[in-house]
């Protein structure tokens, strides 16, 4: 193995904003990096390594993964583990590394959802792939309609007590289920640190009850898809590019998701962002971070420049009441 020549930027903590995660002692960067769609293929390892290095140099300490990220499943964790070994051994205690289990991972009845067997076995596999003794945050990735909630939460409690994770969280739990999960974990003595829901200008379900619940209960919130799969960027201003998710065979995003009405709104939002001296993507991140209950915005990237551009939103003033009103008008039309 070749020795790494990477030395982290000495001023990496000077400009990044760190928000307290609920009422815990943990602070997360306002922007975190997710390793989801484009981190699996061995051909992208060199680019991924550059992105992780630059991300950390910008003060982003939190890297978010899951057991089935890649593709193929497990490969994002394997590549990230290689990056950790090559470049970040001396920086491990400065990193927040999270992973998840809850979606399909391996064949048969024990590789999916929320049983104790699946969650613990999956995390053990994730730790091996990344070459870690523990992760900082382990999530149950989605609700399980069949496994008793007590079993899933007891497994999360065991994972912390066994030293496999420092904190636990959940993803995509609706308010009623979230309230029950919070209480079970609190009674067990392992508080729920964080919830990870989707949230952006086009998908605002968490505003109804969830954000208030999390704030009242002292649980952090890290939102994924703040750019609505790239819709809230300059990518779609002239239609659907062939190399975009909507223009490809993505199972997560389809051409019919990009309606003429949405394109009109995107163009109007882009004009408002330009008036602020921001890109649309930057304004979209500023918008989700306007909520006090939102601890961090989880972004994806395929190039270093995207990470640099988005994190620059933290240099801009927060959205004014007038600007927020204009955004609401655009979204309502």
Q: Give the mean model confidence (pLDDT) for residues 308-322.
A: 96
- The CATH class of 18-230+279-317 is alpha beta
Lowest mean pLDDT among 133-137, 157-161, 167-171, 256-260: 256-260
pLDDT at 95 over 60: yes
Lowest mean pLDDT among 207-216, 227-236, 312-321: 227-236
DSSP string of 176-241, one letter each residue:
HHHHHHHHHHHHHT--EEEEE-B-BTTB-GGGTTHHHHHHHHT-EEEEE-TTTTTTTSGGGTTS--
Distance CA 75, CA 258 (A): 30
* The pLDDT of residue 139: 99
The packing angle between helices 321-332 and 260-276, to 10°, is: 170
**pTM of the complete model:** 0.94
pLDDT at 249 over 90: no
Q: Give the mean model confidence (pLDDT) for residues 92-116.
A: 98
Specify the higher pLDDT residue, 37 or 178: 178
Distance CA 121, CA 139 (A): 14
* The pLDDT of residue 4: 81
pLDDT-derived band at 39 (thresholds 50, 70, 90) equals confident
Specify the higher pLDDT residue, 136 or 259: 136
C-alpha distance from residue 297 to each of 27, 200, 281 (Å): 13, 10, 12
DSSP-assigned beta bridge partners for residue 203: 200
pLDDT-derived band at 245 (thresholds 50, 70, 90) equals low
For the stretch 189-206, what's the b/e string if a residue is b when 16 or more beta carbons lie within 10 angstroms of its beta carbon?
A: ebbbbbbbbbbbbbeeeb
Distance CA 262, CA 299 (A): 21
Q: Please tell me the chain's helix, strand, coil percentages from 3-state DSSP, rounded to the nearest 5.
A: 45, 15, 40
pLDDT-derived band at 242 (thresholds 50, 70, 90) equals low
Q: Is 265 helix (H, G, I), strand (E, B) or coil?
A: helix
Distance CA 4, CA 268 (A): 46
Collect all residues with Cβ–Cβ distance below 8 Å to 16 and sequence separation of at least 6. Answer: 29, 30, 31, 58, 59, 60, 311, 314
pLDDT-derived band at 44 (thresholds 50, 70, 90) equals confident
* The pLDDT of residue 30: 98
CA atoms lying within 13 Å on the CB side of residue 156:
32
% of the chain residues with pLDDT over 90: 88
* The pLDDT of residue 251: 56
Q: Is 28 helix (H, G, I), strand (E, B) or coil?
A: strand
Q: Give the mean model confidence (pLDDT) for residues 287-313.
A: 97
Tell me the pLDDT tens digit for each residue of 197-211: 999 999 999 999 999
* CB contact at 8 A, 14 and 44: no
| Cα 45 to chain centroid, rounded | 20
pLDDT at 254 over 70: no
pLDDT at 238 over 90: no
Distance CA 112, CA 121 (A): 11
pLDDT at 3 over 70: no
Selection from 228, 223, 310, 221 nearest residue 273 by Cα? 310
* The pLDDT of residue 40: 84
* The pLDDT of residue 241: 65
Instruction: Give the tokens for residue 267.
Output: 């163009």
């Amino acid at each position: 193995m070749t020795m790494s020549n990477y030395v982290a930027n000495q001023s990496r903590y000077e400009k990044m904003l760190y928000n307290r995660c609920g009422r815990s002692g943990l602070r997360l960067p306002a922007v975190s990096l997710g390793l989801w769609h484009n981190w699996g293929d061995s051909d992208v390892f060199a680019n991924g390594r550059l992105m992780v290095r630059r991300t950390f140099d910008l003060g982003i300490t939190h890297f978010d993964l899951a057991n089935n990220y890649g593709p193929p499943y497990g490969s994002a964790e394997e590549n990230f583990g290689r990056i950790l070994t090559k470049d970040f051994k001396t920086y491990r205690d400065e990193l927040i590394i999270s992973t998840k289990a809850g979606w399909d991972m391996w064949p048969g009845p024990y590789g999916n959802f929320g049983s104790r067997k699946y969650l613990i076995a999956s995390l053990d596999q994730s730790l091996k792939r990344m070459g870690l003794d523990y992760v900082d945050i382990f999530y149950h990735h989605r609700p399980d309609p069949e496994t008793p909630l007590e079993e899933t939460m007891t497994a999360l409690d065991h994972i912390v007590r066994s030293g496999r994770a420092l904190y636990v969280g959940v993803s995509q739990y609706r308010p009623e289920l979230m309230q029950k999960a919070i209480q079970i974990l609190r009674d067990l003595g392992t508080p729920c640190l964080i919830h990870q829901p989707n949230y952006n200008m086009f998908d605002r379900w968490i505003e109804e009850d969830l954000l208030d619940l999390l704030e009242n209960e002292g649980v952090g919130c890290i939102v994924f898809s703040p750019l609505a799969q790239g819709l809230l960027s300059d990518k779609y201003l002239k239609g659907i590019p062939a190399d975009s998710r909507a223009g490809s065979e993505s199972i997560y995003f389809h051409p019919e998701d990009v309606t003429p009405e949405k394109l009109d709104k995107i163009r109007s939002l882009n004009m408002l962002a330009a008036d602020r001296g921001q890109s649309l993507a930057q304004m979209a991140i500023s918008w989700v971070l306007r909520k006090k209950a939102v601890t961090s915005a989880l972004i994806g990237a395929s190039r270093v420049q995207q990470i640099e551009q988005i994190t620059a939103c933290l240099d801009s003033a927060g959205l004014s009441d007038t600007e927020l009103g204009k955004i609401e008008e655009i979204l309502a039309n």
